[in-house]
Chains A and B, each alone.
Chain A
């Protein structure tokens, strides 16, 4: 099956983007260069087309009940116009996917899931829908742009009558941007301030071109999945399929903070109760290479000369100018300062467990 394309595919081509397959999609990995785009997001702003992400609408009198029964965080704590990070747990207490839950009203929620998992998640949620709630996959009709960086507010402000500067983190407002009805969400996947805009995909070009034009003088750049990955890793935001999957217990991934065991029954709760009570064997930690060697995804990790796991995400950190990564290690070896080794092309290279996030913006 041919890879899917977002509505902006012809524009990415015109901009000279390098296009790569990603989760069943052909997506821009970079335009002007990953380092340049990464730095633009940290210092000015970057604009990402992430329309490949999946969106489900859950509506009806028992919409909240369905959301509560399939997600691990407590969606009953959300007010209208608020969003939360959450997980769809398996019955074994691992992850079907991680996601964002948006509450428009008590009877209307939006779930935002990873592109590669759209079909799987939809089938999963449907199979657990014993409630008076309807679930509809609106992924194809929904465009999603992420405007991320310290000057995102200033750039977006000129394009909408909505008082966007007063939208709190993990909250959203609905209103026109460049005349297009959008959900304006103060969220992101970069560790910077910024917004994610959801809107009818047919208006993608108007928004993409309009936002880029508005930010041009400030230094806003189109940014691809390459920079998105280096940015999210510095901020220790997990990537499903790398750092998290159906084999990783949520407490080992450090996701205990989105597991609300006291909220009532939900899929995976029994397993997660046991996980919490029994303690965890491994833990996801950040590490930094001691020399110039670069740890990459899947490279083996050794502790005391023995194979202990593998790098789940590894990359140069463009902001820190160090080489960083994430890996699961036995809890006994998870303290900051613990020495580990990453096998780079068969050579054991020293690394050290370090605190995460690797990067935190100064005003956060």
Chain B
């Protein structure tokens, strides 16, 4: 269920890396735990973000949850469709529910998990 080829964090984000570009979202497990997503607060294009630091906030009816950045880089694009349709994060967390794209500025992949490792982690 968690796509192969993506890398995952223990805070339940995923990143798809292609060259020096990364696309970030939250995992299916995360959206399920949160419940109905009603609000997503994201950085702006041009903002610098650092691995392990807060990237934004995602809110469900019941809960507020921080999103952490899997890698260090600069935001190049934000999924603005989530402003009016935050529920897309629930419906399609690995597709249309992506959060940000960034230019990766550090080759470190420290702390990131493979799909298999992430599944084992969530299973525990």
B35–A226 CB distance below 8 A = yes
In the complex, which of the residues A33, A292, A293, A315 contacts B35, with contact meaning CB atoms closer than 8 Å?
A: A33
Cβ of B61 and Cβ of A226 under 8 Å apart?
Answer: yes
Please give, as numbers and ranges, the residues of chain A lying within 8 Å of B83 by CB-CB distance.
Answer: 292
B36 touches A34 (CB 8 A): yes
Determine if A292 and B39 form an interchain contact, defined as CB atoms under 8 angstroms apart: yes
Name the contact of A34 in the complex, choosing from B39, B59, B62, B64 (C-beta under 8 A).
Answer: B62
State the CA gap A38–B60 with chains docked (Å).
14
User: Chain A: how many interface residues by the 8 Å CB criterion?
Assistant: 18
Q: Is the CB of A294 within 8 A of B35?
A: no
Contacts A294-B59, A345-B57 given; indicate if A33 touches B36 (C-beta within 8 A). Answer: yes
> Are B64 and A35 touching (Cβ within 8 A)?
no
How many A-B residue pairs lie within 8 Å, measured between CB atoms? 33
CB of A38, distance to nearest CB on chain B (Å): 8
- Size band of the B side of the interface? 10 to 19
A36: B residues at CB distance < 8 A: 36
Across-interface contacts of B62 in A (CB, < 8 A):
29-30, 34, 226
On chain B, the residues within 8 Å of A230 by CB distance are: 61
Q: Is the CB of B57 within 8 A of A35?
A: no
Closest beta carbon of chain A to B73's beta carbon, Å: 23
* Complexed CA–CA distance, A315 and B64 (Å): 11
Whether A282 sits at the interface, judged by CB under 8 Å, is no
B39 adjacent to A318 (CB under 8 Å): no
Distance in Å: Cβ of B32 to nearest Cβ of chain A: 9
Given contacts A36-B36, A292-B39, A318-B61, 6 further A-B contacts (CB under 8 A): A30-B62, A34-B36, A34-B62, A35-B61, A294-B64, A296-B64
Q: Enumerate the 8 nearest inter-chain pairs by beta-carbon distance, A residue then B residue, closest first.
A: A34-B61, A35-B36, A316-B38, A226-B62, A33-B36, A294-B59, A294-B39, A316-B61
